Amino acid sequence: MRLVLLGPPGAGKGTQARRIASEFGIAHVSTGDIFRDNVRQATALGTEARDYMDRGELVPDDVVIKMVGDRLAQDDCAPGFVLDGFPRTVPQALALEDELAREQRPLDCVLRLVIDDEEAVQRLLGRREDEGRADDTEDVIRNRLNEYHTKTQPLEFFYAERGLLRDVDGIGEIGEVTDRALSVLKGLGEEDA
Residue 60 and residue 68: Cα distance in Å, rounded?
A: 13
Residues that bind ligand AMP (CB under 6 A): 9, 31-32, 35, 52-53, 56-59, 64, 85-88, 92, 144
- Tell me the residue nearest to ligand AMP as measured from the CB: 32
Residue 162 annotated to the active site: no
| Selected catalytic residue, list 2, 71, 123, 144 | 144
By beta-carbon proximity to ligand AMP, the closer residue of 68 and 165 is 68
Cα separations (Å) of 57 from 51, 52, 141? 8, 5, 10
Residue 127 annotated to the active site: yes
**Eight-class DSSP state of 28:** E
| Selected catalytic residue, list 36, 50, 105, 127 | 127
Q: Minimum CB separation from ligand AMP for residue 65, in Å?
A: 9
CB 26 within 8 A of CB 80: yes
Residue 2 annotated to the active site: no
Torsion on CA atoms 17, 21, 26, 28, rounded to nearest 10: 40
Catalytic residue IDs: 13, 88, 127, 133, 144
